[in-house]
Amino acid sequence: MIAQICEESKCTGCLACMNLCPCGAITCQEREDGNVIPQIDPEKCIECHRCVQGCPENHVKEKHEPRQCYATWQKDRKERKYSASGGIAFGFYKRWIQNAGIVYGAAFNEKGILTQQKAETLEEARKFRGSKYVQSYNGFSYSEIGKELKKGKKVLFIGTPCQIAGLKAYLGKASDALVTIDLICHGTPPMSYLEEYIKEIAGAEKVDRVSFRGEKDYHMVFYSQDRVVYSQRFRKDLYYTAYLQGIIHRENCYKCEYADKRRISDLTIGDFWGIDRKSLKVPYKGKISVVLVNSEKGRKFWDLVKDEFIYEERSLEEAVKGNVPLQRPAALPKDRMKFIEVYKEKGFMSAVKTPGVQKAIEEAKVKDNLFYRILGKIKRRFR
């Protein structure tokens, strides 16, 4: 019997193994720390070892230095409004679908679970907009993509670097009809954490959509059929604060092999943190995305879509300097083990109130109170 597919602490939950298994012997099991880890049913396993051989964490990763780096944002103001950053991903989806392709991205399903889903129309692709600070469930999306490619379809897949690695591992060989785009990822908390948090905050309300960067940027917002159930700015939201502190990521995130300026996909996208706005050729105060072109296929794709955007070439060093995940993995917080211990015993809400997270919330309140006191004095002075 196969003891384990890969070392558990390295497992990214990409589920390439589950897609590769020819006899349905692999299922997802939630550990007591909330992380989902694939498990093998010994009664079904035929010991073909395809899961072990195909797991990307058992192999050296093939990564490439970016060829070009661009600062970009959507030309369409309306699309920028509904996007988390510069509206880049939706511009990619739009042009790809217009050229008879199909796209895969992350969206909340009818049960409120974030999953990788397919879209063949622009209307369907709209569900992918916005940042999601939680791990999406791949399910059998890799095998579905494999079938689409065999039909001669053109496929665009946007996901985390480890999901891209899983897809490539499943397919085994490159396809000219597949374009992969990875996100500059800060870490992937298990979906179970967010589920518990929603139940605690929303109570009996059925939450079917979550926005981490809603109409007010960096707000946690829960929706029930487009009605706002809960809204709180990031500094005062427990889940958001815990995410930004890096205390709720999967175990593998703290030694992520993809947190590097060398990339695994055809293109990489994310926020262009730290950009020198004064040096922009086109002055712009809104949100700016970074696009890294990592391969020849990526360059051809960029040439296809670039007319959707306002863009200019920047140095790779500038992008790397402003984005920690392009330099190194997330740091392991000192309160991480305390969080896990409390989570196992009492659940997410108790665990997320560990000293480090609670202290950050209280400090934010103090800063906000100070800001509004000063603002009040300024207003009274000029009355």
Q: What is the DSSP string of 289-356?
A: EEEEE-SHHHHHHHHHHGGGEEEEEE-HHHHHHH-GGGTSPPP--TTHHHHHHHHHHH-HHHHTTSHH
Q: Is residue 336 part of a domain?
A: no
Contact in structure between 181 and 267 (CB atoms under 8 Å): yes
Is the pLDDT at 259 greater than 50? The verdict is: yes
Is the pLDDT at 83 greater than 90? The verdict is: no
| Token pair for 142 | 């890799």
**Interatomic CA distance for residues 138 and 38, integer angstroms:** 12
End-to-end CA distance of the chain: 79
Candidates 218, 246, 212; CA nearest to 328 is: 246
Average pLDDT over residues 231-260: 92
Q: Are residues 160 and 51 in the same domain?
A: no
Q: Are residues 82 and 131 in the same domain?
A: yes
Bridge partners, residue 154, by sequence: 101
Sheet of 309-314, strands arranged across: 114-119, 101-108, 154-159, 178-183, 267-271, 289-293, 68-74, 309-314
Contact in structure between 34 and 22 (CB atoms under 8 Å): no
pLDDT by residue (tens digit) across 284-308?
988 899 999 999 999 999 999 999 9
Confidence at residue 373, expressed as pLDDT on a 0 to 100 scale: 43
Is the pLDDT at 195 greater than 50? The verdict is: yes
Contact in structure between 269 and 183 (CB atoms under 8 Å): yes
Q: Are residues 242 and 272 in the same domain?
A: yes
Q: Is residue 22 part of a domain?
A: yes
Confidence at residue 366, expressed as pLDDT on a 0 to 100 scale: 59
Q: Are residues 270 and 142 in the same domain?
A: yes
Confidence at residue 381, expressed as pLDDT on a 0 to 100 scale: 39
Segment holding 149, helix H or strand E:
helix 141-150
pLDDT by residue (tens digit) across 91-147?
999 999 999 999 999 999 988 899 999 999 999 999 998 889 999 999 999 999 999
Q: Are residues 42 and 148 in the same domain?
A: no
Is the pLDDT at 229 greater than 60? The verdict is: yes
Give me the CATH number covering residue 41. 3.30.70.20
Mean pLDDT (the chain) is 90
Is the pLDDT at 263 greater than 80? The verdict is: yes
Q: Are residues 120 and 153 in the same domain?
A: yes
Contact in structure between 375 and 255 (CB atoms under 8 Å): no
Q: Is residue 43 part of a domain?
A: yes
Q: Is residue 3 part of a domain?
A: no
Quote the domain boundaries for residue 95: 68-326
Q: Can you say whether residue 112 is alpha, beta or left, with left for phi > 0 and alpha for psi between -120 and 50 degrees?
A: left
Confidence at residue 79, expressed as pLDDT on a 0 to 100 scale: 74
Q: How many structural domains are present in the chain?
A: 2
Q: Is residue 264 part of a domain?
A: yes
**Interatomic CA distance for residues 85 and 131, integer angstroms:** 8
- CA atoms in the 13 A half-sphere facing the CB of 12: 26
Q: Are residues 43 and 76 in the same domain?
A: no
Q: Is residue 366 part of a domain?
A: no
User: What burial class does residue 24 get, using C-beta atoms within 10 Å of its C-beta: 0-12 exposed, 13-18 middle, 19+ buried?
Assistant: exposed
Q: How confident is the model at residue 367 (pLDDT cuts 50, 70, 90)?
A: low
Q: Are residues 52 and 155 in the same domain?
A: no
Percent of the chain having pLDDT more than 90? 78
Confidence at residue 290, expressed as pLDDT on a 0 to 100 scale: 97
Domain end (from 288, 308, 326): 326
Q: Is residue 282 part of a domain?
A: yes
Confidence at residue 383, expressed as pLDDT on a 0 to 100 scale: 41
Q: How confident is the model at residue 365 (pLDDT cuts 50, 70, 90)?
A: low
**Interatomic CA distance for residues 329 and 324, integer angstroms:** 8
DSSP code of residue 118: E
Q: How confident is the model at residue 376 (pLDDT cuts 50, 70, 90)?
A: very low
Is the pLDDT at 339 greater than 70? The verdict is: yes
Q: How confident is the model at residue 372 (pLDDT cuts 50, 70, 90)?
A: very low
Q: Is residue 259 part of a domain?
A: yes
